[in-house]
Structure 1
């Protein structure tokens, strides 16, 4: 299987698990904002819940890693903080623009988080411990 084909399978799995995780995270973010909570606090709450779901989905479904739970958990935590910091910087910058829609700011910040988190999980968190079959599992064809 070509490297591009294998990568496309990881990306499809990441997109599928990410859609589920995004639904949960944004439900929390927007529910809290609707309840009057600051967009920044709502963002932190949504991503905190997404952290737990994201790790489990990435390890078991996206990358099907056979690596050690503790080591990958620590790496995932580092990756999460790097990606979340980028998300928060983007959100903060957009919120400083006069009349910039808060919902659009949340979506742009989430896009930055998503791209950076994929790269970090793929090449830092799970890269050395992917199952030998990895992206080549029959269920994905």
Structure 2
């Protein structure tokens, strides 16, 4: 069944809400680890690594209303990896151009969000309905 445009908009808003919470958590971790002396790349890896589990749980249950299966988790991890690599390329490029680590970290966020939504909506977490309880 094809999603209606309003359904896609609602899912995107939910995805942004989950992403906002996850971004706040990840950003706090990234900035804290970086502040403690880690390199921007290491801090980025740690922050996003911790956020993956929270993101899968919330996006599968709340955003896309899909079953959190192993298959979905593996696909989700592929999307995360692709999104993360695009994010990392952005972070490294901005860091090289500006030598501003915090700006570099913030610049990677939109790249990660857009690729993540598209990958999860149309591949990783699609057509895996949640079974009715009871």
* Ranges of 4+ aligned residues in structure 1 off by more than 3 Å: none
Work out which structure has the larger RCO, using CA pairs closer than 8 Å and 6 or more positions apart in sequence.
Answer: 1
Matched residues in 2 for 1:20 and 1:95: separation? 25
2:90 alignment counterpart: 90
SS in 2 for 1:78: helix
Matches within 5 A, 1:117-136: 117-130=116-129
Matched residues in 2 for 1:124 and 1:130: separation? 13
* Deviation string, structure 1 residues 7-45 (Cα, Å, up to 9, x no partner): 111011111111111111000000011111100000000
* Deviation string, structure 1 residues 92-119 (Cα, Å, up to 9, x no partner): 111111x342212111111101110011
Question: TM-score of the superposition, structure 2-length normalised?
Answer: 0.90
SS in 2 for 1:104: helix
Matched residues in 1 for 2:66 and 2:28: separation? 28
Number of residue-to-residue matches in the alignment = 129
SS in 1 for 2:127: helix
Segments of 5+ residues of structure 1 without an aligned counterpart are 133-141
* Deviation string, structure 1 residues 31-74 (Cα, Å, up to 9, x no partner): 011111100000000000011101001111110113x6110011
Question: TM-score of the superposition, structure 1-length normalised?
Answer: 0.86
2:40 alignment counterpart: 39
Matched residues in 2 for 1:48 and 1:125: separation? 18
